[in-house]
Amino acid sequence: MSEACTSRELMIYTISRLLKGVRHVAVGQSSPMPAAGAMLLRALNQRDGLEHVQVSILGSVKHNSFTGGAEELFDCAAQGRLDAFFLGGGQIDGQGNVNLVGTGDYPNNPVRWPGSFGSAYLYFLVPRVILFREEHSLRSLVERVDFVSAPGVTDETVYRRGGPHALLTNAALFSFDREAGRFRLESSHPGYGWRDIRGTTGFSYENEQCEVTTPLPDEATLALIRGRIREELRECYPQFAGNMPGPG
Amino acid sequence: MTDFVTPREMAEMIPSGCKLGLAPDDYAAAPGLVRMLIDRGIRDLHVVCAPIGGMQVDMLIGAGAVATLETSAVSLGEAGGAPCFSRAVRDGSIRLRDATCPAVFAGLTAAEKGVPFMPIRGIIGSDVLEKRDDWKVTSNPFDDAEKIVVVSAIQPDIALFHAPEADRFGNVRLGRRRETMLLAHASKKAFVTVERISEVSLLDDEKMAAGVLPAIYVSAVAQLEKGGWPTGLYAEYPRDGQEIEKYARAARSPEGFQAYVRGLGSAA
């Protein structure tokens, strides 16, 4: 038996499951685990003879075929050529609003995060936006965000074909119901029960007493993460890749 | 005509108070020249990040050179948050114009095409829109039922970036970094530092020509080897992660930042 699956490896594997069926997935800056999850789906599909997955990693030379500059991602999204993307968020609330700007009052936020990046746009246009926030706590998953970088739901006067698909943390996986504008607990990761999730989530959601445990990757998938995926990550995320378990 | 100047001369040609367009770290950022701007005490800049900023922008803020910052984000990547930026936000010493990446590109595209604004999808319902008086919601003129955002044109006075190569005629090779091409097209002038200067025209090779910014947009070129360090230069060299970590630690305090910048000055 190899070393047990780490929390991060479980999240990488879960991301690959959430991406199943996409033709083109893009990953933004500073997102090593989403990048790894997208690379894992590509590798698994290739291994199993399934359809090719186009992976566009922003900031990568090797894993990015755009020739039109950074605008091309946004143009692709607007045309429906992009199926999935990831957003983080210092705060995420129960209506799927994300805050990438900071806590407290704008503009002199006492805690300031980098900024909204492409969120205010891509959230409207990419069908499967996966919200990824490693920290599962009352300060990250809040009832109402302090600043809306990108809104979770929109009325019908605004063109929108994209939005939140799922929320993944280091403790649980939620899906998002766009009609209701609410999250639903799908599973808790090993080591967490539904009461832990309820106690550390600042918003209300469906299926509170969910007993499902998030499935772990099998040995072959874990070996793929620790081998090929770790190597592919090195170009853009040398520090992250260096801290992953693996040979050498 | 493109002027060929020394990096120090280029730094003198960028006036305090101008609207300065900058490329992202690791694509075409010019931290080498930015350090010289800091050395000469540049002030009151309106910095436009096309579309995000990193270490060079954080350094300009730390040096007190920035009055207004228009950006979709400022981050040091794997080295974490941008310390001088966060400090300046807290104490209100810069005027912030938070954006979202494609809106910056839309504004630059409007300037490139010489039109006053550009429509763009999404954004409605975000607080980013609420805080921008130069973005408006209008109805689609072809379908009154649909609301759409328009952003005003963004025309920097000067675009400053670093590129692998120029030729002696002033043409600059950018390759796939088309967002830098857009920034140059949109700006009144482009000042470019380069790793090397070719004696042969870069437009002679048809395979390369589509990735070349023609000299008609390029006001000045200065050769500055490793001018992208310690951030990277796309497809040429990666970022120096250790140096950026060192900066991130130093810049946690204003004193540490000053010491870091002085250290670079004496080493240069």
The angle subtended at Cα B102 by Cα B99 and Cα B108, nearest 5°, is 85
Mutual angle of helices B101-113 and A71-79, in 10-degree steps: 100
**Are A59 and A78 found together in one domain?**
yes
- Give yes or no for residue A2 having a pLDDT over 80: no
**Are A102 and A206 found together in one domain?**
yes
Q: What is the pLDDT of residues B173-214, one digit of tens each?
A: 999 999 999 999 999 999 999 999 999 999 999 999 999 999
- CATH number, domain containing residue A106: 3.40.1080.10
**Are B187 and B145 found together in one domain?**
no
**Are A134 and A43 found together in one domain?**
no
Domain that holds residue B145: 120-152
**Are A58 and A101 found together in one domain?**
no
- Give yes or no for residue A248 having a pLDDT over 80: no
Helices (H), chain A: 7-18, 32-47, 71-79, 119-125, 194-200, 219-224, 230-233, 238-242
Of B90, B100, B101, Cβ closest to residue A108: B90
Report strand pairing: A172-177 vs A182-188.
antiparallel
**Are B83 and B34 found together in one domain?**
yes
- CATH number, domain containing residue B88: 3.40.1080.10
- Give yes or no for residue A61 having a pLDDT over 90: no
**Are B93 and B36 found together in one domain?**
yes
Q: What is the pLDDT of residues A230-246, one digit of tens each?
A: 999 999 899 899 999 99
- Does the distance separating the beta carbons of A147 and B102 come in below 8 Å? no
**Are A57 and A143 found together in one domain?**
no
Domain that holds residue A115: 85-215
Beta carbons of B217 and B15 less than 8 angstroms apart? no
**Are B188 and B87 found together in one domain?**
yes
Kindly state the percentage of chain A with pLDDT values over 90.
92
Query: What residue of B is the nearest CA neighbor of A73?
Result: B102
Of B74, B92, B127, Cβ closest to residue A108: B92
- Give yes or no for residue A1 having a pLDDT over 80: no
Of A102, A115, A123, Cβ closest to residue B122: A123
**Are B92 and B220 found together in one domain?**
yes
Of A111, A116, A157, Cβ closest to residue B72: A116
Q: B93 lies in a domain?
A: yes
**Are A204 and A247 found together in one domain?**
no
Complex ipTM = 0.95
- Does the distance separating the beta carbons of B122 and A71 come in below 8 Å? no
Tens-binned pLDDT, residue by residue, of chain B (268 aa):
899 999 999 999 999 999 999 999 999 999 999 999 999 999 999 999 999 999 999 999 999 999 999 999 999 988 999 999 999 999 999 999 999 999 999 999 999 999 999 999 999 999 999 999 999 999 999 999 999 999 999 999 999 999 999 999 999 999 999 999 999 999 999 999 999 999 999 999 999 999 999 999 999 999 999 999 999 999 999 999 999 999 999 999 999 999 999 987 544 4
pLDDT at B268: 44
| Closest-CA distance of chain B to residue A79, Å | 11
CA neighbor of B178 nearest in space, from A71, A69, A65: A69
| Closest-CA distance of chain A to residue B21, Å | 16
**Are A241 and A120 found together in one domain?**
no
- Does the distance separating the beta carbons of B120 and A108 come in below 8 Å? no
Query: What is the tally of structural domains in chain A?
Result: 2
- Give yes or no for residue A53 having a pLDDT over 70: yes
**Are B160 and B60 found together in one domain?**
yes
**Are B165 and B220 found together in one domain?**
yes
- Does the distance separating the beta carbons of B90 and A151 come in below 8 Å? no
Q: B39 lies in a domain?
A: yes
- Does the distance separating the beta carbons of A239 and B127 come in below 8 Å? no
Q: What is the pLDDT of residues A118-163, one digit of tens each?
A: 999 999 999 999 999 999 999 999 999 999 999 999 998 899 999 9
Maximum separation of any 2 CA atoms in chain A, in Å? 56
Query: What residue of A is the nearest CA neighbor of B174?
Result: A69
Q: B112 lies in a domain?
A: no
Q: How many residues are given for chain B?
A: 268
**Are A155 and A182 found together in one domain?**
yes
Which residues 126-165 of chain B have a CB within 8 Å of chain A?
Answer: 126-129, 131, 145-148
Query: What is the tally of structural domains in chain B?
Result: 2
pLDDT at B104: 98
**Are A183 and A234 found together in one domain?**
no
Q: What is the pLDDT of residues A68-98, one digit of tens each?
A: 999 999 999 999 999 999 999 899 999 999 9
- Does the distance separating the beta carbons of A29 and B77 come in below 8 Å? yes
Tokens 């607990």 locate to A185
pLDDT at B266: 47
Which residues 2-21 of chain B have a CB within 8 Å of chain A?
Answer: none
pLDDT at B265: 57
**Are A225 and A155 found together in one domain?**
no
**Are A190 and A223 found together in one domain?**
no
**Are B20 and B131 found together in one domain?**
no
| Closest-CA distance of chain A to residue B145, Å | 6
Helices (H), chain B: 7-13, 31-39, 55-62, 83-91, 101-113, 127-130, 178-186, 206-209, 241-250, 254-267
- Does the distance separating the beta carbons of B52 and A115 come in below 8 Å? yes
User: Would you call B179 an interface residue with chain A, using a CB distance cutoff of 8 Å?
Assistant: yes
